[in-house]
């Protein structure tokens, strides 16, 4: 897994866009006390469920891998 140059910015974009996607679907409403890691995990699971992302093997699911996968997803967004 090669780190992207602007991965941190793309993770932030993925968090924003993923939250917006979830709200539009009517399945997510995050609380201010929810951690970024919890939000990213939920967004990842939602996008995998909706077949927007290919799932990672369960033994490879980690915070770092999820951030990288969501950063790749965000990079493809307009």
Q: Residues 53-71: pLDDT tens digits?
A: 999 999 999 999 999 999 9
Q: What is the pTM of this model?
A: 0.91
**Alpha-carbon span 13 to 42, nearest angstrom:** 15
Q: For residue 53, what are the contacts with CB-CB under 8 A and spacing of at least 6?
A: 44, 47, 69, 70, 73
Number of domains in the chain: 1
34 falls within a domain: yes
User: Is the predicted pLDDT of residue 1 greater than 80, yes or no?
Assistant: no
4 falls within a domain: no
Q: Residues 5-24: pLDDT tens digits?
A: 899 999 999 999 999 999 99
Q: Provide the CATH number for the domain around residue 64.
A: 1.20.120.1930
């Amino acid at each position: 897994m090669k780190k992207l140059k602007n991965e941190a910015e793309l993770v932030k974009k993925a968090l924003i866009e993923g939250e917006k996607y979830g709200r539009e679907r009517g399945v997510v409403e995050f609380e201010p006390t929810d951690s970024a890691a919890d939000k990213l995990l939920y967004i990842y699971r939602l996008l995998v469920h909706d077949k927007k992302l290919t799932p990672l093997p369960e033994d490879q699911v980690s915070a770092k891998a999820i951030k990288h996968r969501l950063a790749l997803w965000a990079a493809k967004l307009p």
